[in-house]
Amino acid sequence: MRKEHDFLGEKLVPDEVYYGVQTMRAKENFQITGAHLDPDFIKSMASVKKASCLTNLKTGRMDKTIGEAIIQAADEIMDGKMLDQFPLDPIQGGAGTSINMNMNEVLCNRALEILGYEKGRYDIISPNNHANMAQSTNDVFPTSIKVCLCHKAVALTDALERLAEGFEAKGKEFQDVLKMGRTHLQDAVPITLGEEMNAYASMVRRGMARIIRSLEALKDLNMGGTAVGTGLNAEPEYIKLFPYTLSEITGFRFETAPNLIDATNNTDCYADVSCALKVTALSLIKMANDIRLMASGPRCGLNEIKLEARQPGSSIMPGKVNPVIAEVLDQTCYQVIGNDLAISMAVENGQLELNVMEPVIAFNIFNSFRFLTNAVNTFNEKLLKTMKANREQCQYWVDHSVGVITALLPHIGYEKCAATAREAYTTGEPVREIILKKQLVTKEAMTRILSPYEMTHPGIAGGKDALAK
């Protein structure tokens, strides 16, 4: 063990760890979720610290030897090393101060080791004086969240792009599969299964665009604003140079916020991003539930599509298979919606110059990105790619539906269509047979009118010359 101290007193710290006394206190005080800090967030904060150290070197404030050692330590963390040195609970008091100091302690102790000193020699390299130079938790923590969200958005939008492409591939595969459209869960007019798949692709791409637009709110940083946004202890040159340095490190575009005080005490940008995730989740729920309905059965449901069996569906009913992949997407989306409520409450509960609820904002929005990315990938790989059309069942529903009568409106008029529909409902006889029996249109015209292309494209099905002579 080694002895370390802060202004509250001394604590023993295990020799082998890179964190220090302030991390030890936070470990004892905050045992809330049982979860760990998001690895992407740890790496993102290391990139912020690296950018800060580089900027301090450019302004001449940071000692070159110490700065280079801290940068080497930050690079190691960004490469995924020492992630086990961040043992804190994601939800904690202090607006993220403990997490910031955890990072500062690890950077300093690793830098000390690089330079040949023992851990804990903060008289040589200090977590507060060096790793936190020209910084405060109040600008480091939100900046790290923004960097992390940019990384996570890449993973999610890539997953959504693959999902959209998957639906477009199914749109082409199913373009000739005519089926009944339904409104109010009742028979409507025919549509192709391919058109439905293309509509889902369009919805997914709209969700991608919504998420990408929301990221624009993350580009403005308050780094250099330090404690309350006034820039105390940070040189003007540091404030000017930092966003360019961070942009070079991360590959994302960042700028200094027009108003550092505003950017320090308000967190509405995270609500923008979370809302984009929530709305996208709502659309995905609708899509997943459509899939569940179309796959219902297989004997006593719609049974229009076939899903690959992934696991037994019942502990008591032999042979039962459930649409588990669509169900898990639904449940994930519910969680994203619940996370958005927690984020909303935290965003509105910041007082005066700082929103101290940022840890719970970060925890929930990181989870939303991770959960949704995993669920979308799972849906695409384990459901969509192997989904098949039940062509025979789709045609059966079309042949036995009264909804196809709508296509005959321009040819025989509403009254004759209504009478035909009543007769079909009463007798159970198909609409096609009733129309031909009464010679309301020719057989050739009927074939044209009720063809998949004519039934599912703008215009009058069969043309205007389809009336029986």
Report DSSP letters for 346-391, one per residue: HHHT-BTTB-TTHHHHHHHHHHHHHHHHHHHHHHHHHTGGG-EE-H
Answer yes or no: do 290 and 349 share one domain. Answer: yes
pLDDT score recorded for residue 108:
98
Answer yes or no: do 80 and 184 share one domain. Answer: no
Q: How does DSSP classify residue 30?
A: -
Q: Is the pLDDT of residue 468 over 60?
A: no
Which comes out higher in pLDDT, residue 426 or 286?
A: 286
Which comes out higher in pLDDT, residue 449 or 349?
A: 349
pLDDT score recorded for residue 408:
85
Does a structural domain hold residue 345? Answer: yes
Answer yes or no: do 381 and 433 share one domain. Answer: no
Does a structural domain hold residue 463? Answer: no
If pLDDT is split at 50, 70 and 90, which confidence band does 454 have? confident
pLDDT score recorded for residue 411:
87
Residues 98, 126, 214, 314: which is the catalytic one?
A: 314
pLDDT score recorded for residue 457:
80
Burial of residue 95 (CB within 10 Å: 0-12, 13-18, 19+) is: buried
Q: How many of the other CB atoms lie within 10 Å of CB of 207?
A: 25
Answer yes or no: do 316 and 437 share one domain. Answer: no
Answer yes or no: do 200 and 313 share one domain. Answer: yes
2: left (phi over 0), alpha (psi -120 to 50) or beta: beta
Answer yes or no: do 116 and 156 share one domain. Answer: no
Does a structural domain hold residue 422? Answer: yes
Three-class DSSP category at 317: coil
Answer yes or no: do 179 and 296 share one domain. Answer: yes
Q: What is the pLDDT of residues 196-237, one digit of tens each?
A: 999 999 999 999 999 999 999 999 999 999 999 999 999 999
Answer yes or no: do 427 and 373 share one domain. Answer: no
Average pLDDT, the chain: 94
With pLDDT > 70 as the criterion, what percentage of the chain qualifies? 98
pLDDT score recorded for residue 464:
63
If pLDDT is split at 50, 70 and 90, which confidence band does 194 have? very high
Q: What is the pLDDT of residues 412-440, one digit of tens each?
A: 899 998 999 899 889 988 888 888 888 88
Q: Is the pLDDT of residue 467 over 60?
A: no
137: left (phi over 0), alpha (psi -120 to 50) or beta: alpha
Contact 218, 146 (CB under 8 A): yes
Q: What is the pLDDT of residues 310-335, one digit of tens each?
A: 999 888 999 999 999 999 999 999 99
For the entire predicted model, the pTM comes to 0.92
Average pLDDT over residues 339-367: 96
With pLDDT > 90 as the criterion, what percentage of the chain qualifies? 83
d(CA 400, CA 430): 6
Average pLDDT over residues 2-10: 90
pLDDT score recorded for residue 387:
98
Weakest-pLDDT range from 106-120, 182-196, 453-467: 453-467
Average pLDDT over residues 433-460: 83
Q: What is the pLDDT of residues 48-89, one digit of tens each?
A: 999 999 999 999 999 999 999 999 999 999 999 999 999 999
Does a structural domain hold residue 204? Answer: yes
Domain end among 102, 133, 164: 133
pLDDT score recorded for residue 465:
56
d(CA 131, CA 148): 20
Query: What separation, in Å, do the N-terminal and C-terminal C-alpha atoms of the chain show?
Result: 101
Provide the CATH number for the domain around residue 188.
1.20.200.10
- State yes or no: is 344 an active-site residue: no
Answer yes or no: do 144 and 127 share one domain. Answer: no
Average pLDDT over residues 5-19: 93
pLDDT score recorded for residue 61:
97
Angle between helices 358-382 and 324-348 (to 10 degrees): 160
In sequence order, the 6+-apart residues with CB closer than 8 A to the CB of 154 are: none
Q: Is the pLDDT of residue 392 over 70?
A: yes
Does a structural domain hold residue 397? Answer: no
Name residue 295's beta-bridge partners. Answer: none
Residue 293 sits in which domain range? 139-216+265-390
**411 phi and psi angles, rounded to 5 deg:** -100, -40
